[in-house]
Chain A
Amino acid sequence: MSRVAAVAWFSFRELVRSKLLVVWLLAVGLLCGVAYLLAYLSYGEPLRIFMDLGLAGLEAAGLVVLLLELAVTYNTDMEQKAVFLQLTKPLTRGEYLLGRVVGFWMVNCLVLLGMTLFIGGFIAFHHGQYPLFWVAAALVMIQMFLLTTLGLAYQMIATSMVGTVLFTFFTSILGHTMSQIRWALERKPDPILRFLLNGTYYLLPNLEVFNLKDRLYDPTLTTAALPWGDIALYAFGYSFAAFLVGWWALEKREFH
C-alpha cells in the first residue's frame, strides 16, 4: 500500500506542478461568475439558480481537469517515455496504475472541493439553505473517480493522446444518455440500431446514477431517499472493472 501511496503522491505533485490548478481559478472566476450573472438577470430565487448553474460548472470543471490530466500525462509518460522510470522501480504495473488513479483523483477532488466551498460559502453567506447541494457535489466527486479510472484505462489502451481525451470526453457525454437509450430500446427499434444501443448501454457507465443536480427540484427527493448503498456499489463495481481492464492493457503493453 505504501508503494501505491508513493505513486499517488508523486502523481499529485506532478500534476500540481504542471499548473493544472489554474483550472480552479478559471472555474471559480469564469463559471461561477457567469452563474452569478445569469442568476441575477433571471427572476425568482436567484440563489437557487446560482446553485444549479454552479453545480453544472462543478461537473464541467471536473471533466476539464480530468481531460487535461490525461493529456499532460500521456505526453510525458507514453510519448516521452517517462513511464520507464516508474516501471523500473520495485512496484507492479497494477500498483502503478492504482497509484495513478488515486493521484489523479486527488487533484480532481482538490479543484472540485475548492469550487464546492466557494459556491457553498456564497450560498451560506446569503442565508440560503440547500442541504442537497453538498450531496450533489459529493456525487460529482464520486462520478469523477469512476471517470478517472475509466480515463486511465483508456490511456493504457490508446495509441494517441487525442484518442484518450476523445474517448473519455464522449464517455462522459454518452454516460448521461442511458435513460434515453433504455427508453429507445423499450420501443423495439431495428435490429442494427438495437445492437448499437445495447452495446452502448452495457459498455458505458450510467452517469445518471451520480447526476443529482437534475433532480434537485423534485419535491419527493430527500437525502434519506437516495439509494446510497447501490450508488456506492455501482461506482465501486464499474471502477473496479475499468481498473482491471486498464491493468491488463498495461501488462500487455510494450514500451519501446
Chain B
Amino acid sequence: MTEGTEAGASVSAGRRLNRRDFLKMSGAGLAGAALLGSTACGGGSSGSGDLIFSMGTDTSGTLQGLVDKFNKQSKDFKVQYREMPTDSGAYFDKLRTQFQAGGGDIDVIGADVIWPAQFAANGWLLDVTDKFPKSDQSQFLPGPIQTLMYEGKIYGVPWFTDAGLLYYRADLLEKSGYSEPPKTWSELEEMGLKTAKDQGIDNGFVFQGDQYEGGVCNGCEYIWTNGGNILDPADPSKVVIDSPEAAAGLATEQGIVEDGIAPQSVATYTETETDPAFLGNKAVFARNWPYMYALAGTKDYPDVKPEQIGVAPLPLAEGQTQLASALGGWNMLINAQSDMQDEAWEFVKFMTSEQSQRQRALSASLLPTRPSLYQDSEIRNTLPVVVQGEEALKNARSRPVSPYYSDMSLEMQEQFNGVVNGDTSPEDAVKALQQSLTQIVEAGS
C-alpha cells in the first residue's frame, strides 16, 4: 500500500480534491509505473550490438560451444544464443508472434524445415539468393535445399538434417530366426508379432502417432511408402491425397495398432515416449529420427546397447520400390528486419561450414547437410547410424511446401491421429483431407 499512502499524502496538502489534484495523483501512479517499466523491462534493447540467434533446447551443449568459438574469433560483434521451446509447434508460435509484432530482435533463426515457405511468403525472411549461388548450393543435400526454396528464391542455408528411420533390435530378431530387417510393412507386422511373443517383449513396434507435427511425418511416411501423395509432385497446387494408395497407407498405420503390433497408446506417442519404449527393452521395432541411436546404452537408457540395435530404411508396401521417409532437420534463416544482415550471414556461414557441422555430428549426433561429410571416416566410425541409415537419408522427402503449411498441418494432425486411435477410417480421413487441404491451397493462391 505504499503507493496509495504516498499519493494520498501529496493530495492532503490541498483542502479538497479538485481535478488537477486528481490528475496529479493518477499521473504519479502512471509515471511510477512507467518508471518501473523502463527499468524492469529493458528487454527489447538487451544486448544491443549483439547478434541474436534462436534455436530450441540443446542438451548436448555443442551449440553454445560453437557460439563461444565463434565469439572468440569474431572481433566486431558477438552472438547470443536464445533458447526457444523444443516443440517445433511452440517454437513456431513464438517466432510468428514476434514477426507479427514487427520483426522482433532475433537476427538468425534456427528453423524447422517446414517453416521457410510460410515465413518467406509473409516477407519475413532475407532472400539470400545472391549470397548463396547455385554452385554453393550444390555442396548441400538436395532435399534440405528444396525446403528453403520459395518462388524460385532461396531463403537460408541447410544446417542439419533428419529422416525417419526404422530401428530394430538385431539381437532379438536373430534369436527369433530373422537375419534381416523387414522390407515391407507386412513383414514388419509378422516379425514384430512373432519376435515380441518369442522374446517376451511388450510391443512389436512403436512410432509417433500423437496429434502434433511428428504425427504428420509418420502419417506422410505411411502414405508415401504405399505409393500415395499429399500434393501432386508435378503440380503442387493439386491435392491428390484422396487416392487408394494414400488410404492404403493410412490403413497400414491403423492396422498396425489394431492388430496389436503397436500399443494403442502410440496415438499419444511423441519422441519422448518412443525413446523409453524402444531403449527400455519394450519394443522390437521403432520409427524414430537418427538422434535416438546415440542414446542407446547411456546412463538414462542403460538397458539396450548400441550393438543390439540396427537401423534400416522404413519398410514399403507390397510391390512398391521407391523408399521414402519424412525429411526433418533444421535450417538457418535470417530475419528480413535484422539490421545486422552481413554479420548474420557471416555467422550462418560459420555454423553451416563443414567444420562446424562435423563437430556437431560427432558430439551431438546431428546429421550433416553436406554430402561430403558422409564420406568422413571419423563420422562413419562414430555414427554408425550414418552408414546404416544412408539409404533412408538419401530418400527423405519433404512435407508439403506451402505458405499455409501450419493450417495444413493442423488438419493432417487431426486426421492422422484419428486414424491411429481408431476414431476415423482411412477412407474418411483422406476424403476429409482432400477437401480441407484443397480449400487451404485455394486460399493461398
Q: A and B, one complex?
A: no
Residues of B within 8 A of A (CB): none
A→B interface (CB under 8 Å): none
